[in-house]
């Protein structure tokens, strides 16, 4: 099976590193024109210079801060005034870790703006072109914690759950237009974020970060942490014509970690 995205325009959030970067690479490998989005301009330029252009693509980037919704709103509205998108990858940096008793109402509001408002607002802008063309793909980078909450990620657990239920509702309304929306439930992947979270857990537990990672690997039936490239393969498939009959789903990519159905 060959994934072909030639002529499609993709917008990929959080794509200066980690999972977002891996997704951007794979979409470009499949022929899409990719617009990168993240906070760090230097890293965005580095990724941009390495994206595949064998299919004659033109790639670009946007410098945005998802944690500042008002500023993000201005930037993304300006982008859509002169650009159209066929494939939207909703992905942002995660909120701060911590348990439910450690977080205030303001913390939840900030996480809501970061993880929910930015996703809904960007999707609304992208949908106009998709509905006109009767074709579109939306993929939300979510977490396995929407099924089995992780007690040290109270903000992420709560708000990402809202994203996946919103996406299920939206799927019903846009299916008739040939547009799909799916949520990828992320397990443990080898990224900077998991390194940061492990460092905090290690400090709190009084053990080494290496021991935290080893314990994490042992929880996964495959006994390893995921490679971001593997994530990119799944998203490229969901972004293609091959996945035209898949919508409103939650797809775990976790090496078998989830115990629930």
- pLDDT tens, residue by residue, 93-134: 988 888 999 999 999 999 999 999 999 999 999 999 999 999
Q: Residue 148 gets which letter from DSSP?
A: S
Alpha helices in the chain (DSSP H): 18-29, 41-50, 69-80, 105-112, 118-133, 154-174, 192-205, 209-219, 228-238
Name the residue with tokens 């078998």. 256
* Contact between residue 137 and residue 155 where contact means Cβ atoms under 8 Å apart: no
Q: Residue 200: its pLDDT value, please? A: 82
At 84, list the tokens.
């159209």
pLDDT at 223 over 90: yes
All domains of the chain, ordered by start, with CATH?
9-187+227-253 (3.40.50.720), 191-225 (no CATH)
Whether the per-residue pLDDT at 1 is higher than 90: the answer is no
Q: Sorting pLDDT into bands at 50, 70 and 90, what band is 194?
A: confident
Q: For position 196, what pLDDT does the model report?
A: 84
| Token pair listed for 201 | 């857990």
66-91 confidence digits (pLDDT tens): 999 999 999 999 999 999 999 999 99
Q: What is the pLDDT of residues 197-217, one digit of tens each?
A: 788 888 888 999 899 899 999
List the one residue out of 110, 87, 126, 70 whose CA is nearest residue 240. 87
Q: What is the pLDDT of residues 6-43, one digit of tens each?
A: 999 999 999 999 999 999 999 999 999 999 999 999 99
Q: What pLDDT score does 252 carry?
A: 98
Looking at residue 199, what is its pLDDT?
86
Tell me the percentage of the chain whose pLDDT exceeds 90.
89
| Percent of the chain that is helix, strand, coil (3-state, to 5) | 50, 15, 35
Q: Residue 195's pLDDT band (boundaries 50, 70, 90)?
A: confident
């Amino acid at each position: 099976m060959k994934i072909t995205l030639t002529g499609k325009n993709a917008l990929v959030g959080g794509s200066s590193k980690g999972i977002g970067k891996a997704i951007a690479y794979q979409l470009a490998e499949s022929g899409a024109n990719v617009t990168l989005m993240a906070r760090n301009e230097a890293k965005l330029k580095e990724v941009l210079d390495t994206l595949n252009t064998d299919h004659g693509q033109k790639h670009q980037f946007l410098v945005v801060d998802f944690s500042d919704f008002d500023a993000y709103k201005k930037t993304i509205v300006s982008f859509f005034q002169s650009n159209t998108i066929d494939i939207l990858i909703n992905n942002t940096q995660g909120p701060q870790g911590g348990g439910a008793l450690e977080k205030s109402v303001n913390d939840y509001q900030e996480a809501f703006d970061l993880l929910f408002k930015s996703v809904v607002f960007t999707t609304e802008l992208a949908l106009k072109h998709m509905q006109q063309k009767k074709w579109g793909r939306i993929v939300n980078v979510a977490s396995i914690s929407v099924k089995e909450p992780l007690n040290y990620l109270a903000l992420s657990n709560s708000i990402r759950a809202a994203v996946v239920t919103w996406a299920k509702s939206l799927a019903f309304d846009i299916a008739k237009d040939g547009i799909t929306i799916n949520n990828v439930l992320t397990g443990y992947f080898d990224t900077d974020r998991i390194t940061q979270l492990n460092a905090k857990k290690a400090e709190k537990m009084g053990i080494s970060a290496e021991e935290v990672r080893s314990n994490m690997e042992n929880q996964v039936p495959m006994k390893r942490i995921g490679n971001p490239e593997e994530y990119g393969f799944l998203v490229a498939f969901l972004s293609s014509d091959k996945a035209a009959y898949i919508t409103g789903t939650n797809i775990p990519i976790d090496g078998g970690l989830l115990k629930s159905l």
